[in-house]
Structure 1
């Protein structure tokens, strides 16, 4: 069983709050224009050129069944690690890091049917926040399709 994260990055998407373990976060950047990536899986919105690194931008709206929305200059990009691959997540707003107090972590949601990509839940005073596990965000088939679209296997920068 994975240890509970000590900190989570909270973010909003279509009015709902989500979280990611802080240890998976590399940096936050403002939204920028994306380059389409032909033959990429549907969950890939495009490529971001971040200081010379071409990173796939994952479409959380599609994955979490939110309505699509055009890229806005007010959106935030979360650069994160998904297993051995660095990816970018487009979110409406990154709220910031939250240090979890003892008793604020619950690993139970990862066991619920139909709740994929979840490491657990942060039980905060203002509500429950599902914390997502990016290692399981892409299926094996999607990872292989993304590697083919990028022209090389995933590498850790």
Structure 2
């Protein structure tokens, strides 16, 4: 996500996970869907929670709890999946709740979090009236090794009959 400019504010999708708010650039988001049963994906990287069959398309579901060091929790029918593009790959991310869109203006944007050590996957932060929201960059969410391992696991799936 490029820093918003005065001429072109950026929209982000706000979501919550373990009572913390995060954001994704809206240009990366395809749709929101209610949580559904997942199918295990053998040999997938640890960050993949399973596969979601979305209208016949198999999508890897990224485990944000593991990535953000939150405690594991069983899938709930109240959870949402955010279907988004991550480094050219369509994925789903399980979140507690998608809150909606927010237009981030240049006065609210702070790019400095992405420069801090140990803060991967972050494009910057939105300084909102009710708190700071880290905006994540899905292009760097999967490491190269994780992407290769995921490709291998997906390639090992049996062909549909």
Q: Please report the TM-score for the alignment, with normalisation by the length of structure 1.
A: 0.94
Does residue 36 (structure 1) correspond to residue 40 (structure 2)? The answer is yes
Helix, strand or coil: the match of 2:31? strand
Match of 1:97 among 96, 101, 109: 101
Measure, in 1, the Cα distance between the counterparts of 2:96 and 2:36.
Answer: 13
Aligned partner of 1:22 in structure 2 is 26
Aligned partner of 2:62 in structure 1 is 58
**Deviations 1:19-48, CA, capped at 9 Å, x for gaps:** 000100000000000000000000000000
State the Cα distance separating 1:101 from its structure 2 match.
2.5
- The runs of at least 4 consecutive aligned structure 1 residues that moved more than 6 Å come to none
Helix, strand or coil: the match of 1:147? helix
Larger Rg: 2
Helix, strand or coil: the match of 2:44? coil
Aligned partner of 1:155 in structure 2 is none
Measure, in 2, the Cα distance between the counterparts of 1:144 and 1:83.
Answer: 12
Q: What CA RMSD, in Å, does the superposition of the two structures yield over aligned residues? A: 1.3
Measure, in 2, the Cα distance between the counterparts of 1:34 and 1:131.
Answer: 26
Q: When the two structures are aligned, how many residues end up with a matched partner?
A: 152
**Where in structure 2 are there 5+ consecutive unaligned residues?**
157-161
Does residue 125 (structure 1) correspond to residue 118 (structure 2)? The answer is no
Measure, in 1, the Cα distance between the counterparts of 2:33 and 2:133.
Answer: 22
Helix, strand or coil: the match of 1:23? helix
**Deviations 1:113-142, CA, capped at 9 Å, x for gaps:** 111100000010001100000110110000
Measure, in 1, the Cα distance between the counterparts of 2:57 and 2:3.
Answer: 31
